[in-house]
Structure 1
Amino acid sequence: MLRPRIIPSLLVHDNGLVKTVNFKNAKYVGDPINAVKIFNEKEVDELAVFDIDATVLNKEPDYALIEKLANQSRMPLCYGGGVKTVEQAQRIFGLGIEKIALSSAVINKPELIMEIADRVGSQSVIVVLDVKKKLLGGYEVYTHNGKKSSGINPFKFIEEAEKLGAGEIIINSIDQDGVMKGYDMNLIDKVREKISLPMTVLGGAGSLDDIGKVINKHGIIGVGAGSLFVFKGVYKAVLINYPNRSEKDELIHKNHIG
């Protein structure tokens, strides 16, 4: 039976694990490999790792780090950061990654979705859209860690991405990132209306109840979180955490029938 997925989202900057607020002020929170080991023990559904330096600095993906992550991970692993070509994607899959997240590269060249999907299969090609509210209403896609406005309407782009062969969409709210006050439910609703693809949402989780609200409304969906799974308590002490199996089952069954 298909179930909702609860997914820790890890950001890598200068080879360290960091957490941001509104895509700014990256705070060091530990070693990414160590975090993967801990999440292994906690039996997470899936793990997403994003290198937030690669695109901004126009660097190749860090294959050495990717190989270490893949070797350590005992859960499905999604990697994003700096992937611009089919050859890079194939090399990363060869290292043991299950899913590749594409963002800036496909905003500039949407057909890359189809090129990679044709080579490795749609199920492994994930399109990530970092989305921000516009001053006069609506939403817009941003790239380069939220620094560059693309002028692109996310709802039109996800329809194109689906036609080109994307296997999943990740929608990340820049406005909610690291704020821990809940997801942008309006944004999630609008995306869900447009596509039938699997989707994962990011940005805003401050509690398991926030995750539960998304599952309650949308059922089988990926619900990602960063701060929630690396911080603990009012003072945000760094502590890798994740709901245990009974907590997760209770959360899913309480909020999702089927």
Structure 2
Amino acid sequence: MDWAEIAILLVAGIGTGMIGYGAGLASLVSFPTLLALGLPPLTANITNTVALLGTTAGGLISAQPDLVGQRGRVVKFGIAGAIGGVVGAALLLSQPAETFEQIVPWLVAFASVVLMLRPWLRSLHADRIREHHVAVPVLIGLIAVYGGYFGAAAGVLIVATLGAVMHDVYARVNALRSVILGTANLGATVVFVIVTPIEWLRVAPLAVGCVLGASVAPPVIRRIPETPLRMTIGIAGLGLATVLFLDR
């Protein structure tokens, strides 16, 4: 790996951290970058999941005030996220790499559509279910299984779920989402470290970029209109899905 690739991964990581904070779909920046650098889809997915821990770390730097008073939620939903991440990673590694390569275009397309539908998802209301219902951590755990398996748009799904059952401001919901995604990625990372080789030389610059991007994202993202950003990323994701379909 040369300095040019390190620079590309660092810049991609910064974009990943910022997009992950602002639009909730970090993987549609980092995952295509890893593919473009020649990594097979499965290796790129594993590398991406490990590096995204940097996005959580960077996001928490600026989100600490929004987590005050949420210890119970962090513990309950964080445990569900970690368990789901472990299960998702185990499912991923239990299948041949070729199977993941066949599935990944569908996952990218799904993630892109979910991102573009985020305002509608955010508007959903679960009138019969509130955050203390046993179904909520179960649903969070199921989303985390998807997060451990692939992950793109898992954050959007978590925000939609929490927003429907919690009576709280969006900033606090988003901070909790960062914690849950972090525990899911951490659970998946533990499985990956134990079971399969990790591309640490590529993880490192991508993760550093993620920390930087997520930590500086709030003032930058506030100046960018959300809808054009979200739609641009979603359309680009559908384009990537099309390319992956054609390359199968």
Q: Which has the higher helix share?
A: 2
Smaller-chain TM-score range? under 0.3
Structure 1 length normalisation: TM-score?
Answer: 0.25
Q: Which has the higher strand share?
A: 1
Tell me: higher relative CO, structure 1 or 2? Use CA pairs within 8 A at least 6 residues apart: 2
Structure 2 length normalisation: TM-score?
Answer: 0.26
